[in-house]
Structure 1
Amino acid sequence: MSHISSSPRAVTGLKFFHIPSSLYHFQKPVSVMPMTQKLHPEAKSAAVPSPCPAVMASRESSVPTPPAQEVAVEFPSEFPSDFAGPSPAPRAGQTVFERIPSAKVTQSRRVLVTTLLILANLVQMTVNFAGIAGGRTLTKSMGVKPANASWVGASYGLTQGTFVLISGRLGDVYGYRELVLAGGAWLAITTLASAFCGKAFFAFLAMRALGGLGGALIMPNAVAMISSTNPPGRVRNLSLGLFAASAPMGGYFGALFLGAFMENTDWKWFFVFTSSLGIVVSFAIWLLSMRETPVDQHGIIDYVGSALGTTSLILFNFVWNQAPSVGWQTPYEIALLIISIVLFGAFLVWEKRYTSHPIMPLEIFKAPSFLTVLLVVLLNYMAVGTLIWYQVLWLQEVWKWSALQFAVGWTPFVICATAAACLAAWLVPRLAAQWILAIGTCTILISNALMATVPVSQSYWAQVFPSVVLFAFCPDFVYTAGQIIASNSVRRHQQGIAGSIIGTLNLYGNSLGLGFASTIEVQSAKRSGSQIVGYRSALYFGVAISVIALILDVGFVRLVKDNREGWGEEDRLRIEEIELAQYAEASGANPHAGAERP
Structure 2
Amino acid sequence: MSTPSILSSPKVARFPFPSSEELQDLPSTLHQPKGFPGSGLSKENYNADAYTEPILEKGPSPPSELRQNLFMIFITVTQLVQMIPLGVGINSGLAIGEALGAPHISSVWIVASYPLTQGTFVLIGGRLGAVYGHKVMFTVGCIWWVVWALCGGFANNLVSICIMRGLCGIGGGLMVPNIVALLGINFPPGKKRNLGMGLFGAMAPVGAVGGSLVGAVIIQLSEWKWVFLWLGLMGFLVYGAAIVIVEQDEAVDPNGSIDWVGAYLGVAALILFNFVWNQAPLVGWSNPYEIVLLIVSALHFAGFSYWEAKVAKEPILPFNIWKSPSFGTLMLVTLFSFMSLGIFFWYMNIYMQTIRGDSLIKVGVQYLPLTIMGCANAFFAAWLVPRVPAQVIMGIGCSAMVIINVLLATVPAHLTYWAMCFPAMFISAYTIDLITTSAQIVASNTVPMEHQGVAGSLVGTLLSYGMSIGLGFAGTVEVNTFKNGTDLLRGYHSAAYLAVGLAGTALVLTALFIRIPKDTREGWGEDQAPEEI
Distance 2:467 2:49 in 1: 57
Query: Following TM superposition, by how much is the alpha carbon of 1:281 offset from its aligned partner in structure 2, in angstroms?
Result: 1.7
Equivalent of residue 238 in structure 1, options 161, 185, 195: 195
Query: Following TM superposition, by how much is the alpha carbon of 1:361 offset from its aligned partner in structure 2, in angstroms?
Result: 1.1
Residues 375/281 of structure 1: CA separation in 2 closer, same or farther (3 Å cut): same
Distance 1:34 1:567 in 2: 30
For residues 447-496 of structure 1, the C-alpha deviation after alignment (integer angstroms, 9 at most, x for no partner) is 00101111111000000000001111101111111111111111100000
Match of 1:105, SS state, is coil
Where in structure 2 are the equivalents of 1:31-180 lying within 5 Å? 54=55, 104-180=62-138
Query: Following TM superposition, by how much is the alpha carbon of 1:345 offset from its aligned partner in structure 2, in angstroms?
Result: 1.1
CA contact (8 A) 1:101 1:229 kept: no
Match of 2:154, SS state, is coil
Structure 1: state its 5+ residue gaps.
11-18, 37-52, 57-99, 579-598
* Alignment size in residue pairs: 507
Distance 2:49 2:97 in 1: 71
Structure 2 partner of 1:93: none
Residues 148/34 of structure 1: CA separation in 2 closer, same or farther (3 Å cut): farther
Q: Which has the larger radius of gyration?
A: 1
Structure 1 partner of 2:10: none
Distance 1:102 1:110 in 2: 15
State percent identity of aligned pairs. 40
429-438 or 561-570, which deviates more = 561-570
Distance 1:573 1:494 in 2: 11
Where in structure 2 are the equivalents of 1:263-302 lying within 5 Å? 263-302=220-259
Q: TM-score, normalised by structure 2?
A: 0.91
Does residue 537 (structure 1) correspond to residue 523 (structure 2)? The answer is: no
Residues 193/362 of structure 1: CA separation in 2 closer, same or farther (3 Å cut): same
Q: Which amino acid aligns with 1:288?
A: I
Residues 32/183 of structure 1: CA separation in 2 closer, same or farther (3 Å cut): farther
Q: Which amino acid aligns with 1:530?
A: D
Distance 2:304 2:196 in 1: 34
Query: Following TM superposition, by how much is the alpha carbon of 1:264 offset from its aligned partner in structure 2, in angstroms?
Result: 1.6
Higher helix proportion: 2
Distance 1:376 1:288 in 2: 35
Query: Following TM superposition, by how much is the alpha carbon of 1:341 offset from its aligned partner in structure 2, in angstroms?
Result: 1.1
Distance 2:103 2:34 in 1: 76
Does residue 547 (structure 1) correspond to residue 504 (structure 2)? The answer is: yes
Q: TM-score, normalised by structure 1?
A: 0.81
Distance 1:20 1:313 in 2: 60
CA contact (8 A) 1:383 1:545 kept: yes
Residues 417/35 of structure 1: CA separation in 2 closer, same or farther (3 Å cut): farther
Does residue 403 (structure 1) correspond to residue 360 (structure 2)? The answer is: yes
Does residue 3 (structure 1) correspond to residue 16 (structure 2)? The answer is: yes
Does residue 425 (structure 1) correspond to residue 438 (structure 2)? The answer is: no
Match of 1:525, SS state, is coil
Where in structure 2 are the equivalents of 1:166-565 lying within 5 Å? 166-197=124-155, 199-526=156-483, 529-565=486-522
CA contact (8 A) 1:451 1:539 kept: yes
Structure 2 partner of 1:26: 40
Distance 2:315 2:51 in 1: 33
Match of 2:482, SS state, is helix
CA contact (8 A) 2:126 2:453 kept: yes
Distance 1:55 1:158 in 2: 47
Query: Following TM superposition, by how much is the alpha carbon of 1:393 offset from its aligned partner in structure 2, in angstroms?
Result: 0.6
Residues 348/101 of structure 1: CA separation in 2 closer, same or farther (3 Å cut): farther
Distance 1:484 1:55 in 2: 32
Distance 2:477 2:51 in 1: 65
Structure 2: state its 5+ residue gaps.
1-13, 24-30
Structure 2 partner of 1:72: none
For residues 200-232 of structure 1, the C-alpha deviation after alignment (integer angstroms, 9 at most, x for no partner) is 221111100000100001111001001111121
Distance 2:16 2:56 in 1: 10
Query: Following TM superposition, by how much is the alpha carbon of 1:567 offset from its aligned partner in structure 2, in angstroms?
Result: 2.4
CA contact (8 A) 1:181 1:285 kept: no
Q: Which amino acid aligns with 1:238?
A: L
Q: Which amino acid aligns with 1:167?
A: G
Distance 2:511 2:239 in 1: 41
Distance 2:317 2:162 in 1: 29
Query: Following TM superposition, by how much is the alpha carbon of 1:177 offset from its aligned partner in structure 2, in angstroms?
Result: 0.6
Distance 1:462 1:487 in 2: 39
Distance 1:278 1:292 in 2: 22
Query: Following TM superposition, by how much is the alpha carbon of 1:290 offset from its aligned partner in structure 2, in angstroms?
Result: 1.2
Query: Following TM superposition, by how much is the alpha carbon of 1:529 offset from its aligned partner in structure 2, in angstroms?
Result: 3.9
Q: Which amino acid aligns with 1:147?
A: I
CA contact (8 A) 1:183 1:217 kept: yes
